[in-house]
Amino acid sequence: MLSFSRCVLKALVGVAVVMSVASVSPAQADDAGAWASVKKAGVLRCGAAVAPPYVMRDPKTGDYSGFFADLCRNFAQNVLKVKVEFVDTSWDNIVAGLQSDKWDMSLALNDTPEREKAISFSVGAIPYNVSLVYNKNNPKIHGAKSIADVDKSGVSIAVMSGTVQDKAISAAVKQAQIMRLPGNDETRLALMSKRADLLADANITNMLLQQSHPEWAVTIAPNPPLAQQEVAFGVRKETPASDIAILNNYVNDQKKSGALDKLINSSVQTMLATK
């Protein structure tokens, strides 16, 4: 009986060792990390939805610019030592595409609690909140200073569908009509053609719109700030903490060195010149 018990004990120990090895192996495989896979492939795929000056795309050449596109390109070339590939997407699909491995990082994503359930984020590169722009000659909006001043029947607000500003303004207004459009060009055109009374967008984007058209554009900056968040890179949920740390170190270095400020200024000037 004693001999049999010892044999059983040895067998159980053997099983435990095998199970332990099996349980460690996937973790070790995960530790190889997203960046190891990127280096093996030789290319970093960056999911990009247009939102000037964060992400811009030349309609003639298809080339990407904007400070988040520049950050992604520099991270690929200077840190991972690989090529960069920008994958065109929409704000409605930018999270789902990341989850389904259509690209390795999503650009210029607002770090929200809802999105954190689905993906992980780098440290924030720049703060964000939502403002509104309107034409000062619009009699329905003239003199408006707050969301309450424009939240009334007969007023329409253009916004990019699926964005943080879409969710923020939809929650903030009760009577105004929300005009959801696929991209930045469409929302601006709606405002400038007077199909929409206001445009809800990122504060920095609306600031540039106002600078481009000082003769008519007026900004409403809600107080307290609407949807105050950080804009960051999105990565898949299973990305190892060590890989996220490499990305975080890169973003923080760009901020501390002043390189990010230079990229932002360059993107702003490009956008203003284009407009």
What is the pLDDT of the chain when averaged over all its residues? Answer: 88
For the segment 8-30, what is each residue's pLDDT rounded down to a tens digit?
Answer: 333 333 433 333 333 333 333 34
**Long-range interactions of 159-162: CB distance < 8 A, separation 24+:** 159/187, 159/199, 159/200, 159/201, 160/51, 160/91, 160/184, 160/186, 160/187, 160/201, 161/90, 161/91, 161/92, 162/90, 162/91, 162/92, 162/93, 162/94
For the segment 118-139, what is each residue's pLDDT rounded down to a tens digit?
Answer: 999 999 999 999 999 999 999 9
Token pair, residue 131, equals 């403002």
Side chain identity at 37, as an amino acid letter?
S
pLDDT at residue 212, as a whole number = 87
For the chain, domains (ranges, CATH) are: 36-126+229-274 (3.40.190.10), 129-227 (3.40.190.10)
Instruction: Kindly tell me if the per-residue pLDDT of 253 is higher than 90.
Output: yes
For the segment 31-51, what is each residue's pLDDT rounded down to a tens digit?
Answer: 468 999 999 999 999 999 999
Is 120 in contact with 239 (CB distance < 8 Å)?
yes
Report helix, strand or coil for 41. Answer: helix
Instruction: Residue 264: name the closest of 214, 272, 187 by CA.
Output: 272
Token pair, residue 201, equals 């967008």
For the segment 179-225, what is each residue's pLDDT rounded down to a tens digit?
Answer: 999 998 999 999 999 999 999 999 989 988 998 899 999 999 999 99
Is 95 in contact with 53 (CB distance < 8 Å)?
no
Q: How far apart are CA 227 and CA 147, in angstroms?
A: 13
Q: How far apart are CA 34 and CA 104, in angstroms?
A: 8
Dihedral sign (CA 200, 206, 211, 212): negative
pTM of the model: 0.75
Instruction: Kindly tell me if the per-residue pLDDT of 2 is higher than 80.
Output: no
Instruction: Kindly tell me if the per-residue pLDDT of 160 is higher than 90.
Output: yes
Q: How far apart are CA 233 and CA 124, in angstroms?
A: 8
Instruction: Residue 267: name the closest of 69, 28, 8, 22 by CA.
Output: 69
